[in-house]
Amino acid sequence: MKYEAITIKDIAKALGLSTSTVSRALRGSYEISAETRKLVLEYAEKLNYRPNPIALSLKEKRSRSIGIVVCEIANNFFSQVINGIESVAYKKGYYVIISQSHESFEREVANTQYLASRSVDGLLISLSTETTDLSHLNKLHDRGLPIVFFDRITEEMTTHKVIANNFNGAYQATEHLIKTGFRRIAHLTISPYLSITKERLAGYKAALADHRIPYDETLVKYCKYGGLFEGETEEAIDSLLALKKKPDAIVAASDKLSTGCLAALARRKVRVPEEMGIVGFTNSLLTDIFHPALTSVRQPAFEMGQVAMEMLIQLIESKHPVTKFETRVLNTELSVRASSQKP
């Protein structure tokens, strides 16, 4: 049996009232008597009536919905960002539609086009690892769709953006390993095209330079899909361990790379931290129970979602064209645990 939602017509027919009277009563119009309004509201509540969002969007020319595109929901960082987005959206009367690119440019394009066809009021997006062509987003932006980037951003579009202080996070992670006694520090990172990759690599290089440790490009390994596929992390670790001068520590630049790195080293009987120190970028709540407990750079994911949503609402609800945009940078936090404690 096909589900059919309760409509104003159903309420009007049951109560012997006109649809216009029911509509006004539901809106709290002063034209309707208190007695009639009470009758309509109680009956509507009894039937669990909810306004038709399509009808409302046609009337208000707004859908009260927000599109979100992330690479993967089953990722500690992005799930926390989404929680932050929702915490603001629902308070402001917006609903969210979440889609995943799975690090695919093709899926990102399909997702954004679908969300636009559903007449979302705005779009929050973190770019996929394959995305170098932004024409699909530029077209939507040029047609007036408010877009806010978070985490993985682009300098090619002028709009609001929210990021973590990736440079400082990587700098602190690398400097911590140096001060602990590690000297040959590798960097396991994502696609070279992503903004977060460039920022974290720059922080890693700066820390080495400040401590007079030469930069060695053979110690930097790119995992294009950020550990989404287990094989690429394994291949990167094997490549590092095959070097004539092996690294004695690793800064892993993403959630899955961090946990994947620990697992790959354990399978190869490489002891952490005795033979290899590790610091990872991860928002996992389980870092304390990893073996060993993982030293981590934690990003303010929940706050990032909140700020991104607030920025998007400002674009959507502004009565005048917005011409001033900002890139908000949020601080990261280094939590030191056993994986980076050199014996």
Q: What percent of the chain has pLDDT over 70?
A: 94
Q: Say whether both 276 and 308 belong to one domain.
A: no
Domain count, the chain: 3
Q: Say whether both 201 and 286 belong to one domain.
A: yes
Q: How far apart are CA 26 and CA 49, in angstroms?
A: 10
Q: Which residues pair with 222 in a beta bridge?
A: 189
Residue 57 forms part of a structural domain: no
Average pLDDT, the chain: 91
Both tokens of 34, joined, read 């208190």
pLDDT of residue 131: 96
Residue 279 forms part of a structural domain: yes
Residue 1 forms part of a structural domain: no
Q: Say whether both 68 and 45 belong to one domain.
A: no
Residue range 292-318: mean pLDDT, rounded: 96
Residue 113 forms part of a structural domain: yes
Q: Say whether both 202 and 146 belong to one domain.
A: no
Q: How far apart are CA 330 and CA 168, in angstroms?
A: 10
Residue 40 forms part of a structural domain: yes
Q: Say whether both 251 and 182 belong to one domain.
A: yes
Whether 173 has a pLDDT exceeding 90, the answer reads yes
| Amino acid type, 262 | L
Q: Say whether both 151 and 192 belong to one domain.
A: no
Residue the block writes with tokens 């940078």: 329
Residue 21 belongs to a domain with what CATH number? 1.10.260.40
- DSSP assignment string, 308-323: HHHHHHHHHH-SS---
pLDDT of residue 246: 96
Q: Say whether both 181 and 293 belong to one domain.
A: yes
Residue 116 forms part of a structural domain: yes
Reported as a pLDDT band with limits 50, 70 and 90, residue 58 is very low
More confident residue, 207 or 229: 207
Q: Say whether both 305 and 160 belong to one domain.
A: yes
Whether 61 has a pLDDT exceeding 90, the answer reads no
Three-state DSSP class for residue 23:
helix
Reported as a pLDDT band with limits 50, 70 and 90, residue 135 is very high
Nearest in space to 219 (alpha carbons), one of 193, 253, 184? 184
Q: Say whether both 220 and 272 belong to one domain.
A: yes
Q: Say whether both 307 and 219 belong to one domain.
A: no
Q: Say whether both 117 and 22 belong to one domain.
A: no
Residue 204 forms part of a structural domain: yes
pLDDT of residue 47: 75
State the residue range of the domain holding 225. 166-299+334-340
Residue 20 forms part of a structural domain: yes
pLDDT of residue 128: 97
Residue 203 belongs to a domain with what CATH number? 3.40.50.2300
Q: Say whether both 180 and 292 belong to one domain.
A: yes
Whether 170 has a pLDDT exceeding 70, the answer reads yes
